[in-house]
């Protein structure tokens, strides 16, 4: 098993305890230093390991921490995690004496990813790591690809002294926007706390939402490989995505929110690309199929370099629908799923709906979504229409 950690103050002691526990169960442990979550996933492939475990609090506040797990290249989620919990509670543990092997994987990761790209022209990029774990490799990697990098908050500090490490929240990218405009950069790229989610602003400093970014990657995939390719996206994404991807000859598949669920659907459908509004983007086209914001950044740089027009032109060419942000309505945990089931029954009788995850009600010129959060006692809602008045 590969074991990695992010740069939070609590991560080293948790990593040490996890490694000791794995070894006591008979697992051989490949111990990594501080690395982004996708680098731990990469190490699973690089070292032909059976799985990878990353100590990370992702984009949560500094005092939080947690664990992300993969087995055989697939994320553990849902029933698999519940089965694991039952084994823990029942004490069904293996025992043994596993080996410990400490390895430095970052050079191999940089060489592998950078070797996949060649920029057609120089590209200037502002990079904001939010002092998260991406700080240990992002600048080196993007410079190895050939970009001119203007770093901000790329000093590794797991207390996140400058802003919360979540580039999908507008207030967290204001310094990046200012830097893009001040340096006349081609784009700005932000990473969350463990660098498996990406946030982007264009050459004018305008924010590119995760669903629009996913669409741009999908359209580029169709240019590379031709029509008929499948793209998996989550229920919170704009209707612009399936409409434009279909118009370009692609096959969009709407699925449940959650990066583990999206990756599972990606494998099931054979899709070469998948992602979420939240900035998780997964490539199985010339890559491993996991969510790697660092790889996505390199791929975006290659796209920008290959185009004679600025990134802002690419987004301006898309229909401009009007949408709300993600609205989170607090409800008791015991009631949230019942509320959603009642919403499904109510709207299904009156409108066309998509019910893969809560209910997405289609109104022809817009839609509304009501779903239960996977992780919190909240109902998630989002709305979109073709005009502000209709919204």
- DSSP collapsed to 3 states, 150-191: EEECCCCCCCCCCCCCCCCCHHHHHHHHHHHHHHCCCEEEEE
Rg (Cα) of the chain, in Å, rounded? Answer: 21
> For all residues of the chain together, what is the average pLDDT?
96
Residue 305 · residue 123 · CB < 8 Å: yes
pLDDT of residue 240: 97
* Angle (nearest 5°) at CA 100 between 96 and 106: 145
Tell me the pTM. Answer: 0.95
pLDDT > 70 in the chain, percent: 100
Q: Are 274 and 231 in contact (CB under 8 A)?
A: yes
As a residue count, the chain comes to: 391
Q: What is the pLDDT of residues 71-119, one digit of tens each?
A: 988 888 778 889 999 999 999 989 999 999 999 999 999 999 999 999 9
Residues classed as catalytic: 58
pLDDT at 78: 78
CATH numbers and ranges of domains, the chain: 2-107 (3.40.120.10), 116-206 (3.40.120.10), 210-316 (3.40.120.10), 322-385 (3.30.310.50)
Give 157-180 pLDDT, tens digit per residue. 999 999 999 999 999 999 999 999
Give the model confidence (pLDDT) of 305-346 as tens digits: 999 999 999 999 999 999 998 899 999 999 999 999 999 999
């Amino acid at each position: 098993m590969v074991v990695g950690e992010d740069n939070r103050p609590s991560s080293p002691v948790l990593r040490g305890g996890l490694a000791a526990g794995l070894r006591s169960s008979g697992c051989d442990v490949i111990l990594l230093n501080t690395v982004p979550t996708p680098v731990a996933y990469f190490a699973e492939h690089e070292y032909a390991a059976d799985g990878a475990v990353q100590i990370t609090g992702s984009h949560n506040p500094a005092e939080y921490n947690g664990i992300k797990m993969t087995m055989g290249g697939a994320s553990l989620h849902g029933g698999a995690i519940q089965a694991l919990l039952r084994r823990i509670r029942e004490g069904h543990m293996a025992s043994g004496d596993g080996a410990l092997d400490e390895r430095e994987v970052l050079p191999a990761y940089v060489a592998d990813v950078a070797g996949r790209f060649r920029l057609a022209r120089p590209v200037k990029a502002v990079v904001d790591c939010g002092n998260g774990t991406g700080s240990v490799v992002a600048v080196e990697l993007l410079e190895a690809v050939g970009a001119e990098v203007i770093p901000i908050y790329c000093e590794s500090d797991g207390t996140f002294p400058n802003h919360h490490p979540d580039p999908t929240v507008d207030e967290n990218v204001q310094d990046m926007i200012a830097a893009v405009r001040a340096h006349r950069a081609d784009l700005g790229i932000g990473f969350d706390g463990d660098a498996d989610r990406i946030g982007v602003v264009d050459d004018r400093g305008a924010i590119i939402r995760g669903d629009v970014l996913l669409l741009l990657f999908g359209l580029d995939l169709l240019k590379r490989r031709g029509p008929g390719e499948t793209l998996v996206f989550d229920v919170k994404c704009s209707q612009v995505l399936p409409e434009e991807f279909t118009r370009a000859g692609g096959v969009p598949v709407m699925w449940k929110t959650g990066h583990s669920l999206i990756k599972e659907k990606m494998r099931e459908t054979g899709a070469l690309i998948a992602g979420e509004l939240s900035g998780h983007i997964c490539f199985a086209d010339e890559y491993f199929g996991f969510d790697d914001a660092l790889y996505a950044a390199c791929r975006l740089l290659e796209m920008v370099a290959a185009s004679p027009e600025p990134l802002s032109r690419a987004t301006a060419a898309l229909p401009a629908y009007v949408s709300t942000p993600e609205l989170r309505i607090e409800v008791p945990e015991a009631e949230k799923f019942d509320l959603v089931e009642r919403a499904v029954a109510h709207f299904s009788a009156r409108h066309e709906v998509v019910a893969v995850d809560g209910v997405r009600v289609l109104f022809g010129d817009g839609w509304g979504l009501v779903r239960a959060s996977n992780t919190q006692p909240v109902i998630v809602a989002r709305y979109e229409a073709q005009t502000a008045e209709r919204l």
